[in-house]
Amino acid sequence: MKKVLLATTALLGLVALSAPVQADPLKVTVGGSVEFQAGFADEDFDSNYRNYDFTSTPNVVVGAEGKASNGLVYGGKVEMDNESDFVGQTNYDRKDSIEFDKAVTYLSGKWGRVELGDENSAANRLTVTAPTGFGTGGFAGDYQKFLLINNVGDTTNFDLNRSAEGFYFRGLANSYKPTLTESGLEDYEDSTKVTYLTPKFAGFQLGLSYTPKVGDELTGVSRDKYTGYSGGTPALWNQYEDLIEAAANYSYKFDNGLGLGASVGYNYAKAVKTTTSADAREDLGSLNLGLSGSFKGFTLGGGYTYDGQSGLRKATQTYDDAAQSYNVGLQYATGPFAVGVNYLNAETEGDVTDSDNNKLQVVGLGGTYELAPGLSTFAEVDFVNYESEDQFLSGSNTSKKYDSTVFVLGTKLDF
């Protein structure tokens, strides 16, 4: 890891030494979006809850960019989002707040691009998956925010905490993880990191990102060497350190209109040490592959992620099935219209002392229509099937299966 830090420091030093005294004035831009959604969910175990709700999501992006006399491009971006949370275990009122989502400084030139701060990793941006440019994104979209598993702490009728851990954060590689919860995914993508992207050459581009501690954002500092995490379930998203994400992408469009895309990536991170050796977890080793093709408005693509035994408890591995997922989808876009369908299938070991696995399937179907420049409307339906390795509750709810159908309608203004 010291070699990674030294290489990063050397690269930044070379860039700094090449910076000239004179430069054009910074150009400041302000943009963002406002999105309204109406969601309706029909799911198991929701008899005590309403089926619908509205959400409104503002997003503001402030950027600044300049160009030095030697061609060096430099700038930064700050992005603010509306974050929602729920108060307490028995009070389901939503609490909203404006938070900084991303904050990054970048330098670019003929040698490539360096990013410093809170921004999606190189692997996140270079990974090829099933198409998601319709509705809210299908399996990668916003249906999750309307699921009870994301919204309540009802430990009497609907406690999925243990079963959900298997999917909470295993697949770091693919930009669309097999997860039923939102918070871990967002915090991982925004962890403070250093990223390098090569220039594109003949359709090829490489990327590398390094994160000292997954989950540390903005001004947060974590120097903890040990974690008190225990139990049989896998390590969660914030229990990895020294995360290295490497990815390669190929994209090319031929004269006849045929487009091809492919990607391969590998991520490695050390599991944070536990206070007792019996609770030690496996390190992360995650491989992902993606392939897509497009022609005359149609795009067909998919991706595969293999996490193996990443995060599993080393001791008492009675059951250690590999974690893996795949996705596939088809999209058609022409003029102001875009319609598509995609599918996610994921399976992972949860508790290493339990013989069953956690299994997740999501089918997303939707469309988007651009009403005017910057203004669009969309509709989507998602079908979710989740099988837990353990019953949801030891009391009244002994089921291991959970099904949900979510409808989302909305409008979005980009400015």
pLDDT digits (tens, 9 = 90+) for 345-399: 888 766 666 666 777 888 999 999 999 999 999 999 999 887 776 665 544 556 6
Asked whether the predicted pLDDT for residue 46 surpasses 90, the reply is no
pLDDT > 90 in the chain, percent: 40
Q: Which run of H or of E encompasses 163?
A: helix 161-168
> Of 366, 308, 315, which is closest to residue 340 (Cα–Cα)?
366
**366 touches 340 (CB < 8 A):** yes
Split at pLDDT 50, 70, 90, the class of 76 is very high
State both tokens at 226: 């040990």
> Of 184, 215, 170, 186, which is closest to residue 360 (Cα–Cα)?
170
pLDDT at 11: 54
pLDDT at 317: 65
pLDDT at 165: 34
State both tokens at 320: 């250690």
So where are the chain's domains?
A: 2-414
**385 touches 356 (CB < 8 A):** no
Report the range of poorest mean pLDDT among 31-35, 95-99, 156-160.
156-160
Split at pLDDT 50, 70, 90, the class of 131 is very high
Q: Which run of H or of E encompasses 201?
A: none
Asked whether the predicted pLDDT for residue 182 surpasses 50, the reply is no
CA end-to-end distance (rounded Å), the chain: 42
User: CB burial class (10 A; 0-12, 13-18, 19+) of residue 89?
Assistant: exposed
Strand-strand pairing, 323-334 and 337-348:
antiparallel
pLDDT at 154: 43
Output 10 or 298, whichever has higher pLDDT. 298
Highest mean pLDDT among 39-48, 195-204, 206-215: 195-204
Distance of CA 16 to the CA centre of its chain: 32
Measured distance CA(302)–CA(247) in Å, rounded: 16
Output 99 or 24, whichever has higher pLDDT. 99
Strand-strand pairing, 204-213 and 192-197:
antiparallel
User: CB burial class (10 A; 0-12, 13-18, 19+) of residue 284?
Assistant: buried
pLDDT at 117: 93
**25 touches 38 (CB < 8 A):** no
Rg (CA), the chain: 22
Q: Kindly report the average pLDDT of the chain as a whole number.
A: 78
Q: What is the pLDDT of residues 236-262, one digit of tens each?
A: 556 778 989 999 999 999 999 999 999
Contacts of 47 (CB under 8 A, 6+ apart): none
Q: pTM for this structure?
A: 0.82
Asked whether the predicted pLDDT for residue 27 surpasses 80, the reply is yes
Measured distance CA(232)–CA(280) in Å, rounded: 10
Averaged pLDDT, 41-63: 87
Averaged pLDDT, 137-151: 77
Output 294 or 392, whichever has higher pLDDT. 294
**237 touches 214 (CB < 8 A):** yes
pLDDT at 394: 43
Q: Which run of H or of E encompasses 384?
A: strand 375-387
pLDDT at 234: 56
3-class DSSP state of 148: helix
Asked whether the predicted pLDDT for residue 173 surpasses 60, the reply is no
Highest mean pLDDT among 4-8, 141-145, 388-392: 141-145
State both tokens at 298: 């149609």
Beta strand segments in 160-239, E: 192-197, 204-213, 226-227
> Of 343, 360, 347, which is closest to residue 302 (Cα–Cα)?
343
CATH architecture of 2-414: Beta Barrel (2.40)
User: CB burial class (10 A; 0-12, 13-18, 19+) of residue 213?
Assistant: buried
Measured distance CA(341)–CA(317) in Å, rounded: 38
Output 409 or 121, whichever has higher pLDDT. 409
Report the range of poorest mean pLDDT among 36-45, 65-74, 226-235, 335-344.
226-235
State both tokens at 191: 């962890």
> Of 289, 214, 252, 210, which is closest to residue 11 (Cα–Cα)?
210
Averaged pLDDT, 112-127: 91
Asked whether the predicted pLDDT for residue 23 surpasses 50, the reply is yes
